[in-house]
């Protein structure tokens, strides 16, 4: 099978879309089993900027939450991608280091971004902590590391 190398912009676009989709879909599915509508997750994201009134918003606020979510996803992916160009160990040991990166992203979002946002400090009971860590390992960190690793491998195979 011939694999065409992706440009850095294409890798970031594809990676951000894939990783961001896995992350948001996991949360939508999980919370739907708890009786929450899928838009609740998007309102929760928007609440970082709008506060609690985001939960009273309709589809426009959900769309804003989706836009914020993917802005964050592209940023998270881009940081790993750029770092991997300066630290090749992120590529050669992606299966070990990218899950750690996912946990670091979770910790930064939960314990730095949330308290500074309009929603404020959010309690983190043990089940929420475990779910968040596992989600960020398997839906954020690993997909990011695998995509970046494969993009680097494909570009080196093509002699780029």
Q: Which residue has the higher pLDDT, 3 or 137?
A: 137
Query: Is the per-residue pLDDT at 159 higher than 80?
Result: no
What is the pTM assigned to this prediction? 0.94
**How does 61-88 read in b/e, with b if 16+ C-beta sit within 10 Å?**
bbebbbebbbebbbebbbebbeebeeee
pLDDT level of residue 160 (50, 70, 90 thresholds): very low
Q: Which of 138, 156, 150, 137 is nearest to 91 (CA)?
A: 150
- What average pLDDT does the segment 50-63 reach? 97
User: Average per-residue pLDDT in the chain?
Assistant: 94
pLDDT level of residue 1 (50, 70, 90 thresholds): very low
- What average pLDDT does the segment 107-131 reach? 96
Helices 142-157 + 59-86 axis angle, to 10 = 50
* pLDDT of amino acid 156: 75
Decide: 130 and 124 in contact? Cβ < 8 Å: no
User: Can you tell me the distance from the alpha carbon of 86 to that of 84, in angstroms, rounded to the nearest whole number?
Assistant: 5
């Amino acid at each position: 099978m011939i694999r065409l190398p992706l440009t850095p912009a294409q890798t970031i676009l594809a990676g951000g879309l894939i990783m961001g989709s896995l992350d948001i879909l996991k949360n939508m599915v999980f919370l739907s089993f708890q009786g929450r509508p899928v838009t609740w997750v998007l309102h929760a994201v928007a609440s970082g900027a709008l506060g609690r009134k985001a939960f009273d918003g309709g589809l426009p606020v959900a769309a804003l939450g989706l836009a914020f979510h993917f802005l964050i996803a592209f940023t998270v992916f881009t940081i790993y991608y750029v770092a991997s160009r300066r630290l090749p160990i992120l590529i050669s040991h992606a299966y070990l280091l990218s899950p750690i990166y996912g946990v670091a992203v979770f910790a930064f979002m939960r314990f730095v971004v949330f308290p500074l946002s309009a929603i404020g400090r959010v309690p983190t009971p043990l089940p929420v902590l475990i779910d968040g860590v596992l989600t960020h390992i398997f839906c954020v960190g690993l997909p990011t590391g695998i995509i970046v690793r494969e993009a680097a491998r494909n570009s080196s195979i093509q002699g780029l």
